[in-house]
Amino acid sequence: MICAISGEVPDEPVVSKKSGLLFERRLVERYIEDHGKCPVTKEELTMDDIVPVKTNKVVKPRPLQAASIPGLLGMFQNEWDALMLSSFALEQQLHTARQELSHALYQHDAACRVIARLKKERDEARALLAQAERQIPASMAGAAPTAVVSNGKRAFEDEIGPDGKKIRPGINPVMIDELTECNTMLSAHRKKRQVPPTLASIDAIEKHTQISSHPLHKTNKPGILSMDIHPSKDIIATGGIDTNAVLFDRPSGQILCTLTGHSKKITSLKFVPRDELFVTGSADKTVRIWQGSEEGNYNCIHTLKDHTAEVEAVTVHATQKYFVTASKDNTWCFYDISTGSCLTQVGEASGEEGYTSASFHPDGLILGTGTTEAVVKIWDVKTQSNVAKFEGHVGPVTAMSFSENGYFLATAALDGVKLWDLRKLRNFRTISPYDTDTPTNSVEFDFSGSYLAVGGSDTRVYQVANVKLEWNLVKTLPDLSGTGRVTNVKFGADAKYIAVGSMDRNLRIFGLPGDDDQMGETIPSEE
C-alpha cells in the first residue's frame, strides 16, 4: 500500500473514488486545496471524492538507524547527500537545455538573415532583367541579330523569361521608322496609280479557257494547297500535300526545282524577290526560309520552330525585309527575313481558337488575320495591337486578300466571300457563289485591283466596282480536276492568265486560247 505522491507507506491512507489511487491523506488534502485536481490524472477532485481506508493500527518498528542519535545523524546525512546529488543533476540538465535553446535561437536568426539576403538579391536580379529587356531593342537598333546558327535556332531566343516564355527582342524604333516610311511612300504612290494599259480586258477574261495542265506533285498524295507567282520572272510555286514545294517556269513549261524538307503538307508559301528568298509554312509546325542560287536551285538556310501547332499562313511585308506567320496555336510571329529571327510573337497559345489565314495590307502597317472562329482581326503592326474585328462569317476564314487600292479587304469562308470597307470598317457586299456545304477556299485581287477571283467548287472572276455598284461576274472557269475543290487561284501579270490549283496534282493555266503557242511545250495532264 504505497502513496501515489510520496512513494511511502501512508499513515492515513485514502483512496480516490474516480481514479482508485491510494494517497497519504495530508498530502492529497494539501494538493486539492491548492489545485482542486487529482495530482496524478489531473481530473477534477474534491475531498468528497476521497474515501479513507480502514487498517489495523500496527506499530511500525523503527529502523535500527533511528534507535540512536548517531543513527539518526547518519540517516540525515544520507538524505542530504541524495538531495544534493539530485539538485546537481537538475542544474546540469538546466544548463544543457539553456545551451540548446541558445543554439536554436542563433540558427533561427541566421536563417532569417539568409532569407532576407536572398530576397534582396532576387529583387536586384529582377530589376537588372527588366532594365536589360528595355535596353535590348535600343542596343539592336540598326543592327540585325547575329546569333543565328545553321539550323535556324537563335541563341538569344533560348533565354526564358520569368513567365516561362522565350524573350523576344521586339520591333525596335528603327524598324518602326522603316515601316512607317515605307507606308508613307506607298500610300503617296497609290493615290497616283492608274490601271495599266496592258491589263487584260473584260472581253479577254471572258474568253479564258484552259491552255495547259502540269502534273507537279505526287500521285499518291495529290492536292495543291498553296500557290504564289514570282512578280518578275513568271515562275509559279506550288505547295502540296506531298510535303514538297515545286517551282515551275510557266513560259517553258518546265519544273525548275522541287524543295523537300518538310515532314507534313505545305500550307502556305511566298516569294521574296529582293534577295531571291522563298518562305514556306507547313503543318509540321515549322517555317523554312530558302535561298536561291545562280543555278536556279533553292537551299534551306533557316528552319523556324516558334509555333506549337500547324502554320497556316505566311505573308511578306512590302519592304521584303520582314514576314509574318500565323498558326493554329493562336499566335502570329513577326520575323526578320535576313536572319530568320522572331522579333515578336503575338497572342496566347490556346486550344480553342487559332489562325487560318493572314495577309499584310499593301502599305505594310496593317495585318489581317482570319481565325477558326469565323472572325477577321485587323492588327496595328507597330504596336501589335488588335484595332478592329470583323464578324459575320460562318466557319473558319480560309483566305483573305487586300486590294491594291488600299481600301478593300476580301475574306473567304464557308458562307462565301465578304468584302469589307477599311475606311468605315464595315461589310458592304457578300458574294455567295456556292451552296452552304461548299466552302470558298481562295480569294484574290489582281495587282491592278480590277478583278477579284474566287475559288471553291469552280473558279469565278468578278469585275471590281465600288461600294455602291454591283460587282459583276465576268467568267466562270469549271473545275477540270474532277475533285470539285479549287484550293488556290492566282492572277498572272496584267491578268493575262489565271493559275489554278486543285485537290489533284495538276497546276492548270487558264488564258486566251492563242497564248499557249507562246508558252513552249506543256506537260500533258494525267487525269
Cell reading at 463 = 469585275
Confidence of residue 146 (pLDDT cuts 50, 70, 90): very low
pLDDT given at position 150: 42
Give 299-310 as a 3 state SS string: EEEEEECCCCCC
**pLDDT by residue (tens digit) across 400-450?**
999 988 889 999 998 889 999 888 888 888 888 888 788 888 999 998 888
Comparing 146 with 38, the larger pLDDT belongs to 38
Please list the alpha-helical segments (H only) found in 295-365: none
Higher pLDDT, 121 or 517: 121
- Which pLDDT does position 27 carry in this prediction? 93
H or E stretch at 499: strand 497-502
For residue 357, the surrounding DSSP H or E stretch is strand 355-360
Question: What sign has the CA pseudo-torsion 26, 32, 35, 41?
Answer: positive
Give the per-residue pLDDT at 306. 87
Collapse the DSSP code of 227 into the 3-class scheme (helix H, G, I; strand E, B; otherwise coil) and give the result.
strand
* pLDDT of res. 165: 64
Grid cell at residue 353: 481558337
Contact 195, 463 (CB under 8 A): no
> Could you tell me the pLDDT band of residue 51, with boundaries at 50, 70 and 90?
very high
176 has pLDDT over 50: yes
pLDDT surpassing 70 at residue 519: no
Q: What is the pLDDT of residues 478-505, one digit of tens each?
A: 888 888 889 999 998 888 899 999 988 8
Phi, psi of 118 (to 5 degrees): -65, -40
311-316 and 298-304 beta bridge pairing = unpaired
From CA 17, how far away is CA 156, in angstroms rounded?
83
Domain boundaries, the chain: 13-60, 180-511
CATH topology of domain 180-511: Methylamine Dehydrogenase; Chain H (2.130.10)
Instruction: Please say whether the dihedral angle defined by the alpha carbons of residues 154, 157, 160 and 165, taken in this order, is positive or negative.
Output: negative
Region of 318 please: left (phi>0), alpha (psi -120 to 50) or beta: alpha
Residue 450 DSSP symbol: S
Which CATH superfamily hosts domain 13-60? Answer: Zinc/RING finger domain, C3HC4 (zinc finger) (3.30.40.10)
> What is the pLDDT of the chain when averaged over all its residues?
85
Cβ-contact 17, 51 below 8 angstroms: yes
State the cell numbers at 237.
510555286
Tell me how far apart the alpha carbons of residues 66 and 73 are, in angstroms, rounded to a whole number: 9
Give the sign of the dihedral formed by CA 362, CA 364, CA 365, CA 370: positive
Given a cut of 90, whether residue 89 has pLDDT beyond it is: yes
Q: Are 212 and 516 in contact (CB under 8 A)?
A: yes
Distances in Å between the Cα of 150 and the Cα atoms of 169, 268, 299, 301, 305 are 20, 23, 12, 7, 13
| Backbone φ and ψ of 154, nearest 5° | -100, 135
Q: Is the pLDDT of residue 329 over 80?
A: yes
- 281 has pLDDT over 90: yes
Note the Cα 418 to chain centre separation in Å.
Answer: 29
Report whether 248 contacts 507 (CB < 8 A). Answer: yes
Asked if pLDDT for residue 131 goes beyond 50, the answer is: yes
| DSSP character string of 246-283 | EEEETTTTEEEEEE---SS-EEEEEEEGGGTEEEEEET
Angstrom distance (rounded) from CA 404 to CA 155: 38
| Among 60-69, 266-275, 432-441, the range of highest mean pLDDT | 266-275
For residues 479 and 460, what is the distance between their CA atoms, to the nearest angstrom? 10
* Predicted local distance difference test score (pLDDT) of residue 162: 57
Cell, residue 392: 459575320
Strands 22-24 and 13-16: antiparallel
Spatial CB neighbours of 95, under 8 Å, sequence gap ≥ 6:
none
Model-wide pTM > 0.75: no
In this structure, what DSSP letter does residue 423 have? T
User: Three cell numbers at 487?
Assistant: 484550293
On the 0-12 / 13-18 / 19+ scale of CB atoms within 10 A, 512 is middle
Residues counted in the chain: 527
- Would you put residue 7 in left (φ > 0), alpha (ψ -120 to 50) or beta? left
pLDDT tens string 453-485: 999 888 999 988 888 888 889 889 888 888 888
List pLDDT tens digits, range 15-32. 999 999 999 999 999 999
C-alpha to C-alpha distances, 482 to 212, 352, 414, 439, nearest whole angstrom: 16, 34, 20, 16
If we measure between CA atoms, which residue out of 462, 415, 410, 458 comes closest to residue 439? 415
Residue 293 pLDDT level (bands cut at 50, 70, 90)? confident
